[in-house]
Every structure is written in C-alpha cells, then in structure tokens.
Structure 1
Amino acid sequence: MMKRGWQLLLALSLALVGLVGWQLPTAQADSVGYTVRAVLPSNQDDKQVNYFSLRVKPRQTQQLAIVITNTSNRQQKYVVSINQSVTNDNGVIDYSQVKPKLDSSLKVGTKNIFAKGSDQKVTVAANTQKRVTFTYTMPAKKLPGIILGGVYVEQVPATAKRATAKIMIQNAFAYAIGLRLQENKQTVLPDMRLHQVQATQINRRNFVTANLQNPQPGIMQHLTVNARVTKFDTTKTLIRQQQANMGMAPNSNFNFGIPWGNQTLPAGHYTLYLSAKAGSQTWQFTRNFTIADQTVKRLNKTVLAPAKQPNYWLYAALGLLIAVLIAIIVYLLYRNRHNDDED
C-alpha cells in the first residue's frame, strides 16, 4: 500500500511539472553576422553621433560612403537603399520603406537629390568589408528646415535548395543609418494638422483612426496624443486612447488609432476630441464624423472575434482538486506507515 501511494504521488508530481513546463515559451537568438558604419565627412555638424548629420549648401554635390563588414564565414548579399523618412502608424520615424507613400507637403526628399544608382545590390566575401558610395546634389534654391532620410542596408537571406515544409521562415536583418541634410542653422518647428477621421480595420480589429500631419520640414519628438470619441452632442466617452513617446518625421503623416475594444460602436454621428503635445507645443482638435451603416456591416464581416477571457474559476477549482488529492495521498501514506508501526 505504501509503495503504491509513493508511485501515485510521483506520477502526480511529474504531471504537474509537465503541465507547467508546457506553458513556458522558448526563444532562440540568431547572430546578425554583419555590421554597417557611416564614413562621416568633414561637413558633419554633430561629431557626437554616428549617423550622417550634414551641413550643406545649395547646388552642393557630395559623395557619401558606408562600410559593410561581413563577420560571417560565408559570402553574403545586401541591398542598400536611400530611403525617405516617414512616420508609421505606431508614431515612429521609419527609414525602412523603399517606396513609401509620401506626404503632399514634401517638396524635396531623398529621391529628388540622390542619384538613381544610389540603390544597389552588394556582395561581400566572408570575413571582409566593402565600401559602398552614393552621391547627392542639392537643389539650386535654398531649402528651409531639413531633409531627413536613412541609408537602409538589408541582408538578403540565403535561398534554400529545396523546401522541407510548406511554410518556411527566413530571418533577414537590416541596419538603418540616419541621414539629415540641413542648409540653415535656424531650426524649423514642426506643426500638426488633423485630416480624415474614419472607422477602419487594422489587423482585423476595428479602430477609429485620425490622420495627423506634420507639414513642416522639422522633426517632432516626444509626442503625446490623447484622443476620445463621444456620440454627437453628448459628453459620455465611448472609447479613448492615449499614447506617449512618439515622433513624426518632417513633412509626413500617420493614422493615430483608437481601438473599439470589446465595445460596440454602431453606425451614427460621433465627435472626436484629440489633444497633442510635443515639447512646448500643444494642439487641440475637435472633429465631427459619421460612421455609415455599410461601413459597419463591411467591417463586421472580417473583424476578429475578441479573445475569450481565461476561466480563472476553473483554474482555481483544478488547483483545489490537486491540493485535495495530494492531501489524501499524504494522509494514506501517514496512516499506512502508522499501521505498520503498530504491527
């Protein structure tokens, strides 16, 4: 009897350990295998940074260079592009988009001043480095503010000879080196404008989005946005969203998303109240908008159903049951041992 009790206790313990272990995620880290650095020229106006921060003049032509070092033991291929900075919908200044949708306020960007051959494919032998150059020419007319972009270097993943599964996941790593060109020492302050407000869907989840634009050639940093939506002519807040530590590239826009969450936002007339702050600058917007019946029906066809909340009562009951079983086993072991001692 005592031996059987110990076997039961051991089996129960192993089952519990297995259950806990099954819920623990695992992660693996991959080595990047290469580095990229900027060769900073003499007109670098900020010696404390490792990206291009250049003081330039109208009509100036200059060749810039980066160095790609392949630290791996095999030949690697890379794609180098000069990208215009934009603001993605997370409120982050983004240099990774090769063909971004440009804001209407952008008059002169990286694609206007860099030679077409700046975007190139580069092969670097194992454990060697290669210097990559690209040339820009500033317009004749003096420009206010800054042109902001980035040198984007992306490793081309090796192509597998044959697929061993229907779905293959390949890791690709990229570096972005900032590129800031400025003719005037005077800083141009950013600004904010509110454009379209609409109901839409992001990753199959319903949102109200407010398109925010920075129409000036100045960087917006430390941006905080606080937005809420009410029914038209009422004060009760239906949904709200606050986000801090964002930024906006010069002459760019992004869609600030306010999630519907688990609340129903039917067709009707609504009002958006949005406030924003970046440094000492503040903005306040109020905008009425309408969500049409056909919009709600279209979104509801593809919306992802809300995730079910964990059943904590079930977990508590299972925990209690396990505790009772352990107590019974301990009691049986104790009683069996006590009977053996009496015998």
Structure 2
Amino acid sequence: MLVALFAPAHMVAAATKVPKKAYSVTAILPGNQVDKQLNYWQLHLSPKQVQSLQLQVANIGREAITVRVQANNGTTDANPQIIYSQSASTIYPKPATSFASMVIGEREQAVTLAPGAVKILTFRIRAPADHFSGMILGGLYATADVTTTATQVRQIVAYQRSVVLQGKDINQVRPKIQFGAAKPVAEAGRFVLYLATRNTAPMYAYALTNKLTIYRQDTGKRVVHTSGTDGKIAPHSRFNWQFLIPKLAAGSYEMRLVIAGNNVARRTVIRHFTIEPVQVQAVSDYRPTGRRNFGVVLLLIVLIGVFMVVSWVLIYQRGRRHGQQLRKKTK
C-alpha cells in the first residue's frame, strides 16, 4: 500500500482568533477514492478516464473574501518538502506526464464569498492515453488575502490538497535521487550550502533523514555537523537542497551527506567546495535592515537629547542674564 504521508492542509499564515477574513477548504472525495479515510485525493484511473475533483470553499469570517485555487504539479522546496504552490506546467524531465497537463480547461479559478457562504469548485482532469508507472502527483492550492488593516505587508492564508494518481505498478517503483554540485552562498549574514538534487523517477521519496558533516580539507578537522528528519521529495522534480551552515573561514572543504528514507536506501554523498575570501567578507559586512534603522533611531534620539540640553542651557543662561539686568536696574 502507498503510505499516506501527504499533508491534508498547509497553512502559510495563520488567521486571527476572531478573524474578520477567514476561510476553509474541504476535498469532496469521489466514489472511486482508493482510501476514503484520507483528506486528499488518491485515485487509480483508467487510460483517458475523465475525473472531476471537487473542492468545497467556505467563508468562515465576518467579511467577504476572494479565494483563488490553482491546479498545480507537486514539486519540491529547499527543505525538502512537497509543495503545490508553483504554477509551472512542466516537470523534470519534460517528457514526463505532469498533473498540470491533464487538467481540462483553466487551471485557476477564483470565487468571492459573502460571510457564511459555501461554494464548490470543480476541476476536471483526463488520464494519459496509456497506463503509466509509479504516480503522477499534483494538488489544488488555495490562497486568499486576509489583510484587514492599511499596511504594506499583506497577510496571505494558503491551503493545499494533494492529488495522488496511482499507476499500474505503484508498489514496485522507487525514487531515483541524483546529486549535482555543492555551492556555498553568502546570504543575509550567513552561509547557505546548496546541493543540486533531482528525482527522475515517477515516485516520491518520504521519511527522509539526513546527516551533514563538513571537514576542512587542509586539516581534516570537522567544522559542521547537522541533521534533519521527515524530508519528502516529489516525483520528477529537481531543486537545490538547502543547508544552513555557520560562518566558515575561506578555504576548501569536503561535504559528507548521509541520507536514508522509507523507500530510499542509505547512501553517502561526498562533494567538495570552496569558500572564497570575498564571501567571508560579505557575511561579516552584513547588517540587517532592522539594525540599521535602530542605529538611525538611536542617533536621532541622541541628537534630540543633545539639542534639548543645549536649548535648556541657553534658555537658562539667557534667563540668568535677564535677571541680572533687572537687579541692576532696581538698584
């Protein structure tokens, strides 16, 4: 059986406890749903079969709200986790059948709901002409702007529901994860190590664990050791696996990454990379915007304080001289 590890919902930004704007989504499961205990679609379709996917959208806030829903491919972010927020219609490699290519008609729908209103959005997909191997992974991705105050920062709430289309040999196919070069990048006052990663198979990888160790090549000293759990990689996807690492000195390094998963055999990936002096300097020179603003505010406070003290001294001296002049006149 295919392990049910696709999250039923993912909240990008939380609504307030008593929201003016809020909504919810519910997958309406069809009669041919493989596992009716799930909150997302798990389907086995015949060649060229047309299937409706219905998503119930409800306004549970006190104000009207506009919800946009996209039918997107399942892809992988840098953590790695499976996401459905990317609107690109192709997957890797391009000849592979994508979920987006199966959608009949528009891939995005929008609905505006009054408080308490409920609407069912329907997307239709057509299965490939021939039986396929493994799985085709996609999802319905809903977003809405729930900002209720005048601000430049927008509050967006998003939910996603997976669509897992099972192929003829779903239980025999395994992920094929390949790795490219490792590249260190100086970002926002820190180092980030990117490892080019791709899964060329029509099967997702799940329950991934990783242990990253970095050694300085000239001394062999271990300088970094981190670990992660519960990673997921979408089928037919490529991405840059991201590892946050502490500030390192310029020089050459060796990376050893040990990965394993429920359907991925344990393996060790070895890569070499170099950190340039200019990257070290970029990390050292970085100053967060907030700190710069704080420095400006602090300087203004000091200047205002100095101005007030000087003004008080001048007023005091002027008053003192005026008092002396009055005393002279009265003598």
**TM superposition score normalised by structure 1:** 0.70
The answer on whether the counterparts of 1:205 and 1:304 sit within 8 Å (CA) in structure 2 is no
The structure-2 alpha-carbon separation of the partners of 1:202 and 1:30, relative to structure 1 and needing over 3 Å to count, comes to: farther
1:178 is matched with 162
The structure-2 alpha-carbon separation of the partners of 1:136 and 1:286, relative to structure 1 and needing over 3 Å to count, comes to: same
**How far 1:119 sits from its partner (Å)?**
0.6
Distance 2:104 2:274 in 1: 45
Query: Which string of whole-angstrom CA distances, capped at 9 and with x for unpartnered residues, describes residues 69-125 of structure 1?
Result: 223343321101012111211222112233499544772212211134131111223
Higher share of residues assigned helix:
1
Instruction: Show structure 1 runs of 4+ deviating over 6 A.
Output: none
Q: Unaligned 5+ residue runs, structure 1?
A: 1-26, 308-343
The structure-2 alpha-carbon separation of the partners of 1:33 and 1:298, relative to structure 1 and needing over 3 Å to count, comes to: closer
- Counterpart secondary structure, 1:96: coil
1:193 is matched with 178
1:157 is matched with 146
The answer on whether the counterparts of 1:205 and 1:303 sit within 8 Å (CA) in structure 2 is no
1:22 is matched with none
1:44 matched to 2:33? The reply is yes
* Pairing partner for 2:214 from 210, 229, 235: 229
- Counterpart secondary structure, 1:43: coil
**How far 1:295 sits from its partner (Å)?**
4.9
2:230 is matched with 245
1:277 is matched with 260
Query: Which string of whole-angstrom CA distances, capped at 9 and with x for unpartnered residues, describes residues 24-47 of structure 1?
Result: xxx963546322111211221111
Distance 1:224 1:139 in 2: 34
The answer on whether the counterparts of 1:70 and 1:126 sit within 8 Å (CA) in structure 2 is yes
Distance 2:223 2:183 in 1: 15
Tell me how many residue pairs correspond in the alignment.
273
Matches within 5 A, 1:57-76: 57-76=46-65
Distance 1:98 1:84 in 2: 7
Matches within 5 A, 1:1-343: 29-31=17-19, 33-99=22-88, 102-104=91-93, 107-157=96-146, 163=150, 167-187=151-171, 188-232=173-217, 234-261=219-246, 263-266=247-250, 268-279=251-262, 281-293=265-277, 295-296=279-280, 302=286
Distance 1:246 1:173 in 2: 23
**How far 1:56 sits from its partner (Å)?**
0.9
1:332 is matched with none
The answer on whether the counterparts of 1:239 and 1:258 sit within 8 Å (CA) in structure 2 is no
The structure-2 alpha-carbon separation of the partners of 1:129 and 1:258, relative to structure 1 and needing over 3 Å to count, comes to: closer
**How far 1:52 sits from its partner (Å)?**
0.7
2:4 is matched with none
The answer on whether the counterparts of 2:252 and 2:275 sit within 8 Å (CA) in structure 1 is yes
The answer on whether the counterparts of 1:151 and 1:178 sit within 8 Å (CA) in structure 2 is yes
The structure-2 alpha-carbon separation of the partners of 1:48 and 1:150, relative to structure 1 and needing over 3 Å to count, comes to: same
The answer on whether the counterparts of 1:118 and 1:135 sit within 8 Å (CA) in structure 2 is no
**Residue identity in the other structure for 1:252:** S
2:314 is matched with none
**Residue identity in the other structure for 1:54:** L
Q: Unaligned 5+ residue runs, structure 2?
A: 1-14, 292-331
The answer on whether the counterparts of 1:77 and 1:121 sit within 8 Å (CA) in structure 2 is yes
The structure-2 alpha-carbon separation of the partners of 1:81 and 1:91, relative to structure 1 and needing over 3 Å to count, comes to: same
**How far 1:297 sits from its partner (Å)?**
5.2
The answer on whether the counterparts of 1:65 and 1:134 sit within 8 Å (CA) in structure 2 is yes
